[in-house]
Amino acid sequence: MRALKIYAALFAQMLKVRLAYRGDFLADLFATALGGLSSLFFVLLFFVPVDSLAGWKRDEVLLIAGLSSMSYGLFATVSWNLFEFGDRYIIEGRFDRVLLRPISTFAQILCDQFRIPVLAETVIGAGVVATAMHRLGIGFGALEWLFVAVTVACGALLYVFVFTILASVSFHFEDRVGVAPPVFNVIPFGRWPQEIFPWPIRTLLRWVIPFGFVAYYPSTALLGRGSLKGMAALSPLVTLAFGVLAALCWRLGVRKYESTGS
Amino acid sequence: MPAVIVENLEKEFRRFRRREGLAGAFKDLFQRDYEVLRAVDGVSFSIERGERIGYIGPNGAGKSTTIKMLTGILTPSGGRIESLGLSPHKQRKQYVRRIGVVFGQRTQLWWDLAVVESFKLLLQIYEVEKRAGEARLAKLRELLALDEFLHIPVRKLSLGQRMRADLAASLLHGPELLFLDEPTIGLDLVAKDAIRALLKRVNDEFGTTILLTTHDLRDIEALAERVMVIDGGKIVWDGRLEALRDEAGEEATAEIELLEPAALPELQRLLPQVRFEQENPLHLRARFSKRAIPAAELLSRLVGALQVADIALPEPSIEEVIRRIYEKAGKSAMVAAQKQGVAR
Amino acid sequence: MNPVRALHLPAYAGFFVGQFHKMLAYRTRYVTGIISYLVYVTTYYFLWKAVFSRRAPDDAIAGFSGAQMATYVAIGWIARSFYFNNVDRELAEQVQNGSIAVALSRPVSLQGTIVASTLGEGLFRFLFFTLPISVVIFLLFPVAPPASALHAAAFLLSNVLALAILTQLNFLVGLCAFPLKNIDGVMRAKHYLIELLSGLLIPVAMFPGWLQSLSAWLPFQAISYLPSSLWLGHARAGAEWLGGDATLIGRVLLVQAAWVAALAALGAFCWGLAARRLSVQGG
């Protein structure tokens, strides 16, 4: 709770700082929005020569991609530090300072930097989801809103936890790049109907790097299609399980740091 | 009851050894070499409340490692630390609320935020009660003259200002113990003096116990009441600054300019308790202990025996003494290593 | 005067070897890099496979059959493993921490040193990334061989030019760090723009007409689409302006070289502006 309060205070400060350089902020916002749009634009381009993908129509695929963008934007805004963790904190030695403060080390890493323009991706994603839901004739009742909100929150947290697990590897292997990049590159897998992948990849995305739970399974539930729509209910549980795993990995890493200082 | 008790503290590291050259780098891709390093090797001391201690030693002697263990960042490999009644690494969150730490090379403030905003966040992080925090900040503003840059982003501060801001940041939560790692590094002479004066005032005003590491011995002379010297992971000297000064004072040198060359062997026979060195035929240096021969007596006997143009008695520096301590420690370490070699 | 000396080639060679050395030191990046490319190819291979699986074998989309599309995806990503670099980020870091001033004091041009070190990185990538990645991908996915030996050679050369184009583009993006405090957004936008418009994710031939005409005037398709069409041996929709298959090789290489020259000139001009600002205002 206290961490949340500090979090909010820091966020307000960072926003103030970024807005002070208005030109810079707008340029960054524009460029980030362009980046976010291009990944959705790919879906549009893709459906120019193609009319359906494994039985999924364009708007249905856009629903998955939009949900995925919303979660990704929230995640990337708060947790860019997880990608730079090995470099910024271990190699450049900032973790010493983190250990000297009386709040959770993990909360501090998440608080330390905000990439506010990336929130544009969440906003664009929300627009796409709303449009797709409208065109697909899905109602906009309280239940649907709640479902989307929970889905996006779980998705964002799931990303955070997966990349926390990977960031804690930096405690053991000193390396600027870390092991996150290939998993980061798996994120786009989760933006497409899982049917197109052979079973090993589907299993991987369900149980190992569970990005299928971010947008795909919730979309099947929203659309009421396929035999796997029940999987959406598992989304919060999977998120919770990865949260526990992430906490364990982080603790182990901090303990290692305390004994070697690097 | 001392504020800090350290007994037989030890820390070992395993270090990755990079191979040389392109072929070596390629080999490192597949197989890595490690060596074991004893950074701190059986260190014991205790610190009383309110003390100002200078902790010095050559590079790689184990200073930073000791500080990191004292602040709870590192877990010792052996021995015991009890600081403020707590075990720093085991009760870290509780412990760090009661200490302040300044790293001269690295700021703890948020680079893009105004100084005062960083302070507000820190007050929140350390859960300082609002009134107490405001009072503390007001006091520090006056003490450290922070008002001139309170609303400027940290990255725009000069190094001297940044150090003052960092010092204030480490004191906001009213720590009982203050650790400073190279607090004057990179500062100009005026800023260094300012920081020294401020630290002294902080110690007077709040009774904060201060332990600082430095490479600048003027920091030690201006600030420390007590000096600990570490070398090769072992404490090789621990005592009051005056004791160090006395030791420095005992060992004296005289620089003697002559009108005509002197016969050195004859002079040595006349004054066996003095060690003479000949720079050139007309310049002698005499090294002596004041206990063995008082300076006045030496001077009068020299004037009697030689055609003296000028005699100077340069003020002996503690730098000289510490150099001697390092040398002695180096020698004993070498002797110890040789003995080990024989034993093996 | 020795022409090699005059061009400061030994000095540039130092940057070449240095970059090579630097790359070797990052063993995690090496392993994770290979996995990443496998992930990329897998994603897009199955995406296109799903599209073509519901069509008759000879039912092509914009001139691409299913088999050709598989080859196109694999070859595109394999080539990317060679030409990719982070010149923009490295340059921006130098601008932000002020070490860029050192570039002004060196007797060699900044653009030259960057080209030399990206070539060093390119050779490293070719030997240690591209070759093993190719082996894995050729084993896992159905990739057709190049149209002819001549096409294969042209494909290799074309990718060196693609590397040069991307390097110059990245140089320009990196220079944005002079007016902007933070270029994360610009780098991200460039990244997606290149992935999309270079034809890496979807062939230019499948773009809607207006985007095809627009692409003809942009350097992006010279990074991926044109080199890959050399491997396949056909000029395709969206590149009709290149003429027939017979003159394809010569024209692709010419267009790429023209883009290298144009972007390098633009880069030199912008760097000139930045350098003047640096020496006048001290950064």
From A148, A29, A38, select the one nearest A77 (Cα to Cα): A29
Q: Are B192 and B220 contained in the same domain?
A: yes
Whether residue B343 has pLDDT greater than 50? no
Partner chains of B (3+ C-beta pairs under 8 Å): A, C
CB-based contact A100 B101, cutoff 8 Å: yes
State the pLDDT at residue A67.
95
- Name the pLDDT band for A244 (thresholds 50, 70, 90): very high
Interface of A with C in 132-161 (CB under 8 A): none
Partner chains of C (3+ C-beta pairs under 8 Å)? A, B
Give the number of other Cβ atoms within 10 Å of residue C135's Cβ. Answer: 10
A53:C61 CB<8 A:
no
Percent above pLDDT 70 for chain A: 96
CA angle C152, C153, C156 (to 5 degrees): 90
- Residue A19 sits at the chain C interface (C-beta within 8 Å): no
**pLDDT tens-digit readout, C142-170:** 999 998 888 899 999 999 999 999 999 99
Residues pairing with B256 in the sheet: B284, B311
Residue of A nearest to C206 (CA): A49
B29 touches chain C (CB under 8 A): yes
Contact C28 A175 (CB under 8 A): yes
Maximum mean pLDDT: which of A109-123, A142-156, B246-260: A142-156
- Tell me: do B111 and B184 sit in the same domain: yes
- Say whether B22 and C30 touch across the interface (CB within 8 A): no
pLDDT digits (tens, 9 = 90+) for A58-101: 999 999 999 999 999 999 988 888 888 888 888 888 899 899 98
CB contact under 8 A, A42 and C43: no
pLDDT band, very low/low/confident/very high, at B145 (cuts 50, 70, 90)? confident
Query: Is the minimum CB–CB distance between C21 and chain B shorter than 8 Å?
Result: yes
Q: Tell me: do B227 and B298 sit in the same domain.
A: no
A2 Cα to chain C: minimum distance (Å):
30
* Chain C nearest CA to B18, separation (Å): 10
Q: For residues A135-141, give the mean pLDDT.
A: 88
- Tell me what pLDDT residue B344 has: 31
Residue of C nearest to B30 (CA): C27
Whether residues B223 and B283 fall in one domain: no
Please determine, for residue B339, whether its predicted confidence score (pLDDT) is greater than 60: no
What percent of chain C clears pLDDT 90, i.e. is strictly above it? Answer: 43
Give the one of A10, A93, A97 whose C-beta lies nearest to B121's C-beta.
A10
Contact in structure between A104 and A4 (CB atoms under 8 Å): no
CA–CA min distance A32, chain B (Å): 21
Could you say which of A13, A103, A258 has the minimum Cβ distance to residue B75? Answer: A258
DSSP class of A29: H
- Give the residue from C16, C23, C24 with the most B CB atoms within 10 Å of its CB, the best one to mutate: C24
Beta bridge partners of B288: B252
For A173, the closest chain B residue by CA position comes to: B16
Which of B66, B74, B77, B97 has the most A C-beta neighbours within 10 Å, making it the best mutation to test the interface with A?
B74
C-beta of residue C198 within 8 angstroms of C-beta of residue C227: no
Mean local confidence (pLDDT), A22-41:
82
Above 60 in pLDDT, residue B338?
Answer: no
| Cβ contact, residue pair B112, A14, below 8 Å | yes
Q: How many domains does chain B have?
A: 2
**Residue C131 Cα, gap to closest chain B Cα (Å):** 17
DSSP string, B238-288: EEEHHHHHHHHHHEEEEEEEESS---HHHHHHH-TTSEEEEEETTEEEEEE
What are φ and ψ of residue B74, in 5° steps?
-110, 145
Answer whether residue A204 shows pLDDT above 80.
yes
Q: Does B26 touch chain C (CB under 8 A)?
A: yes
Cβ C21–B29 below 8 Å, yes or no?
no
Which pLDDT score, from 0 to 100, does residue C283 have?
Answer: 43
Of A41, A117, A188, the CB nearest to C43: A188
Residue type at A147 in one-letter notation: F
User: Looking at chain A, which subunits does it touch, using at least 3 CB pairs closer than 8 Å as the criterion?
Assistant: B, C
Confidence category of residue B264, pLDDT binned at 50, 70, 90: confident
Q: Which residues of chain B lie closer than 8 angstroms to A101, CB-CB? A: 96, 125-126
Contact C32 A181 (CB under 8 A): yes
pTM for the predicted model, two decimal places:
0.81
Number of domains in chain C: 1
Nearest by Cα to A122 from A235, A32, A13, A213: A32
Give the residue numbers spanning the domain of B74. 4-246
Residues C81-98 pLDDT 10s: 999 999 999 999 888 888
Residue of A34, A81, A113, A173 best to disrupt the C interface, most CBs of C under 10 A: A34
For residue A138 the two structure tokens come to 């899905």
Shared domain check, B45 and B161: yes
Question: Would you kindly state where each structural domain of chain A is located, as residue ranges?
Answer: 2-260
Residue-wise over C264-283: b if at least 16 C-beta within 10 A, else e? beebeeebeebbeebeeeee
Residues of C in contact with A50 (CB under 8 A): 51, 61
Q: How many angstroms separate the CA atoms of C172 and C88, rounded?
A: 7
Q: Which helix (H) or strand (E) holds A202?
A: helix A199-203
C25 touches chain B (CB under 8 A): yes
User: Is the Cβ pair B110, A13 closer than 8 Å?
Assistant: yes
Share above pLDDT 90 across residues of chain B, in percent, rounded to a whole number: 33
Give the pLDDT confidence of C32-77 residue by residue, as tens digits. Answer: 888 889 988 998 999 999 989 888 777 888 888 899 999 999 999 9
Last residue of a domain, one of B246, B274, B289: B246
Lowest mean pLDDT among B252-256, C228-232, C246-250: C246-250
HEC sequence for B89-115: CCCHHHHHCCEEEEECCECCCCCCCEH
Q: Which parts of B164-208 are beta strand (E)?
A: 177-181
Residue C35 with chain A: CB contacts under 8 Å: 182
Chain A residues with CB-CB distance to C28 below 8 A? 173, 175, 177-179
**Across the interface, do C40 and A185 touch by the CB < 8 Å criterion?**
yes
* Min Cα–Cα distance to chain A from B186, Å: 19
Give the Cα separation of B17 and B19 in Å (integer).
Answer: 6
Contacts of A49 in chain C (CB under 8 A): 61-62, 206
A144/chain B closest Cα distance in angstroms = 38
Q: Using one digit for the tens of pLDDT, what is the confidence trace for B89-137?
A: 899 889 999 999 998 888 888 888 889 988 988 998 888 898 999 999 9
- Between β-strands B4-17 and B78-83, what pairing exists: parallel, antiparallel or unpaired? antiparallel
Q: Where does a domain end: B246, B278, B312?
A: B246
Last residue of a domain, one of B183, B217, B246: B246
Do B25 and C21 make contact, defined as CB atoms within 8 angstroms? yes
Please check whether residue B139 touches A, CB under 8 A.
no
> From C124, which residue of chain B is nearest by alpha-carbon distance?
B26
Least confident of B92-101, B149-158, B280-289, B322-331: B322-331
Give per-residue pLDDT as tens, C252-266: 999 999 999 999 999
Do B239 and B131 lie in one domain? The reply is yes
B123 closest CA partner among A13, A94, A102: A102
Q: Which chain B residues are closer than 8 Å to A19 by Cβ?
A: none
Beta-strand relationship, B99-103 and B78-83: unpaired
List of chain B residues whose C-beta atoms are within 8 Å of the C-beta of residue C13: none
Nearest CA in chain B to C28: B29
Contact status of B68 with chain A (Cβ, < 8 Å): yes
Q: Do A102 and B74 touch (CB under 8 A)?
A: no
Are B75 and B201 contained in the same domain?
yes
CB A116 within 8 Å of CB A13: no
B56: CATH: 3.40.50.300
Residue B251 vs residue A180, higher pLDDT: A180
Chain A positions in Cβ-Cβ contact with residue B120 (cut-off 8 Å): 9
B61 three-class SS:
coil
Query: Dihedral, CA atoms, B98, B102, B107, B113, nearest 10 degrees?
Result: 40
